[in-house]
C-alpha cells in the first residue's frame, strides 16, 4: 500500500497533433507528440475548505475533484490546489487533458491509492469526457505516456496506441498561435460529426485521405520513406480545410506561408470563424520563414517533440 502524502506536485505535457485530429474521434489513427510545454498541479492538505490558485480555475478544479472522488471512492476534504501552466488554453495544445492527467495523478498519489499510468489515463479520460463530450482520448494518452504516439480509438473502452521511435532527425518546426478560437473543441468536433451525418460518402473519403497522410507522416518519422515534409503538411492542411475546421483568416495566413515556400497546418480542434488556435509551421529554409514572420509581425516559437509524460515533480 502506498502511503498518503501531505503534499504533491505533478507535471504533465501538452501536445501537438502531427496528423489525424478530428478523424481520430471517428476511429482513424492519429500521430501525436508530447511537447516541451507543461502544466504543474500542486496539492497540499489545508485546514479550511478548498483553495484554488489561480482563482479563475476554481469551478474547473472543483468539478475535477468531484469526478475523481466519485471514481476512486475517496474524499480528500481540505486541499489547496495550485496550477501553473505554460500550455496555452483552448488553442489545440491539450491544456485541459494535461490538467486532467496531472490532477488525476496528484490525487491518486495524495490519497495513497496505488496507481499506474493506465489508471491515471483512465481517470483523466473520465474528466476529459466532462469537458469535451466525445473525446478520442488521444490528448489524455499523450499527456500520460509522453513521447510520440500512434493512436487509435477502436471503441469507447478499447484504445490502441504505441510509441513511435523517431529514427529521423526531426525537421525544425515552429508553433504559431493564431489566437483562441471562438468555438470549443467540443464545438468543432460536433461540426465534423454533422458533416459525417449529412454528407457521409464525401466525408468518409476525406477521413480516408487523412489516414493516408497520417501513415505517410509515420513512415517519414520512422525512416521508412523519405517523403517531402512540406507536402505532407500541405496535404494534411487541405483536408482539414475540407472538414471546415480552419477559419478564413487562418486559411489566408497559411496561403501566405505557402507562397513563401513553407507549409503550415492547424493542430488540434482548429477554429471555424475567428482564430484557429495553434498552427504547426515548417519551411525547409528556416531563415526565409523567420524573415517572413518578422515582416508580418508574427511570433514563431520553436517546439520540440517527444517530451516525458506525466511525472511527480521534486
Ligand atoms: O483542440 P484539442 O487540443 O482539444 O485537440 C483535440 C483533438 C481532436 O481530434 C479535435 C478531438 C479529440 O478528442 O481527439
Mutate to test the pocket of ligand 1, among 32, 149, 186, 268 (most ligand atoms within 8 A of CB): 268
Taking the centre of ligand 1 as the mean of its atom positions, its distance from the CA of residue 220, in whole angstroms, is 23
Tell me the pLDDT tens digit for each residue of 24-40.
999 999 999 999 999 99
Tell me the pLDDT tens digit for each residue of 60-74.
888 888 888 888 876
pLDDT, position 76: 66
Low-confidence ranges of the chain (pLDDT < 70): 1-5, 74-77, 168
Looking at ligand 1, which residue's alpha carbon is closest to its atom 14?
136
Taking the centre of ligand 1 as the mean of its atom positions, its distance from the CA of residue 142, in whole angstroms, is 12
Looking at ligand 1, which residue's alpha carbon is closest to its atom 13?
135
Taking the centre of ligand 1 as the mean of its atom positions, its distance from the CA of residue 130, in whole angstroms, is 14
Atom number, ligand 1, closest to the C-alpha of residue 96: 4
pLDDT, position 88: 87
Looking at ligand 1, which residue's alpha carbon is closest to its atom 3?
92
Residues within a 6 A CB radius of ligand 1: 17, 21-22, 24-25, 92-94, 132, 135-136, 138-139, 185, 189, 268-269
Question: Within the chain, how many helices (H) and strands (E) appear?
Answer: 9, 11
pLDDT, position 143: 98
Q: Which three cell numbers stand for residue 151?
A: 493512436
Single out the residue of 104, 154, 111, 105 nearest to residue 128, CA to CA.
Answer: 104
Atom number, ligand 1, closest to the C-alpha of residue 277: 1
Mutate to test the pocket of ligand 1, among 129, 184, 189, 214 (most ligand atoms within 8 A of CB): 189
Looking at ligand 1, which residue's alpha carbon is closest to its atom 10?
269
pLDDT, position 57: 86
Taking the centre of ligand 1 as the mean of its atom positions, its distance from the CA of residue 96, in whole angstroms, is 10
CA distance 135 to 269: 11
Q: Which three cell numbers stand for residue 113?
A: 491509492
Atom number, ligand 1, closest to the C-alpha of residue 135: 13
pLDDT, position 218: 95
pTM of the prediction? 0.93
pLDDT, position 92: 87
Taking the centre of ligand 1 as the mean of its atom positions, its distance from the CA of residue 268, in whole angstroms, is 5
Q: Quick one: DSSP state of residue 146? A: B
Looking at ligand 1, which residue's alpha carbon is closest to its atom 5?
268
Tell me the pLDDT tens digit for each residue of 143-177.
999 999 999 999 988 999 999 998 767 789 999 99
Q: What is the 3-state secondary structure (H, E, C) of 236-299?
A: HHHHHHHCCCECHHHHHHHHHHHHCCCEEEECCCCECCCCCCEEEEECCCHHHHHHHHHHCCCC
**Strand pairing of 79-85 and 51-53?**
parallel
Strand partners, 280: 175, 265
Mutate to test the pocket of ligand 1, among 14, 132, 211, 269 (most ligand atoms within 8 A of CB): 269
Taking the centre of ligand 1 as the mean of its atom positions, its distance from the CA of residue 2, in whole angstroms, is 34
Q: Is the peptide bond prior to 212 cis by the omega test (within 30 degrees of 0)? A: no
Amino acid at each position: 500500500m502506498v502511503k498518503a502524502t501531505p503534499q504533491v506536485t505533478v507535471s504533465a505535457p501538452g501536445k501537438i497533433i502531427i496528423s489525424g485530429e478530428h478523424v481520430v474521434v471517428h476511429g482513424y489513427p492519429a500521430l501525436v507528440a508530447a511537447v516541451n510545454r507543461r502544466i504543474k498541479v500542486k496539492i497540499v492538505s489545508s485546514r479550511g475548505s478548498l483553495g484554488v490558485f489561480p482563482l479563475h480555475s476554481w469551478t474547473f478544479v472543483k468539478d475535477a475533484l468531484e469526478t475523481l472522488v466519485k471514481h476512486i471512492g475517496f474524499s480528500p476534504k481540505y486541499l489547496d490546489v495550485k496550477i501553473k501552466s505554460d500550455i496555452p488554453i483552448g488553442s489545440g495544445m491539450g491544456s485541459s487533458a494535461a490538467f486532467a492527467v496531472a490532477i488525476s495523478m496528484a490525487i491518486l498519489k495524495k490519497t495513497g491509492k496505488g496507481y499506474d499510468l493506465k489508471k491515471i489515463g483512465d481517470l483523466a479520460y473520465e474528466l476529459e469526457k466532462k469537458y469535451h463530450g466525445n473525446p478520442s482520448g488521444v490528448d489524455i494518452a499523450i499527456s500520460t505516456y509522453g513521447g510520440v504516439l500512434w493512436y487509435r480509438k477502436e471503441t469507447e473502452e478499447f484504445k490502441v496506441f504505441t510509441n513511435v521511435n523517431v529514427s529521423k532527425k526531426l525537421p525544425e518546426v515552429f508553433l504559431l498561435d493564431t489566437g483562441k478560437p471562438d468555438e470549443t473543441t467540443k464545438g468543432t468536433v460536433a461540426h465534423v460529426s454533422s458533416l459525417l451525418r449529412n454528407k457521409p460518402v464525401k466525408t468518409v473519403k476525406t477521413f480516408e485521405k487523412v489516414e493516408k497522410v497520417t501513415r505517410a507522416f509515420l513512415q517519414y518519422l520512422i525512416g521508412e520513406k523519405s517523403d517531402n515534409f512540406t507536402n505532407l503538411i500541405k496535404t494534411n492542411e487541405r483536408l482539414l480545410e475540407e472538414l471546415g475546421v480552419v477559419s478564413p483568416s487562418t486559411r489566408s495566413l497559411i496561403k501566405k506561408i505557402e507562397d513563401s515556400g513553407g507549409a503550415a497546418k492547424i493542430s488540434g480542434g482548429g477554429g471555424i470563424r475567428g482564430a484557429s488556435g495553434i498552427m504547426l509551421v515548417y519551411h525547409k529554409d528556416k531563415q526565409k520563414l523567420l524573415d517572413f514572420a518578422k515582416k508580418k509581425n508574427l511570433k514563431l516559437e520553436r517546439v520540440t517533440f517527444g517530451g516525458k509524460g506525466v511525472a511527480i515533480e521534486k
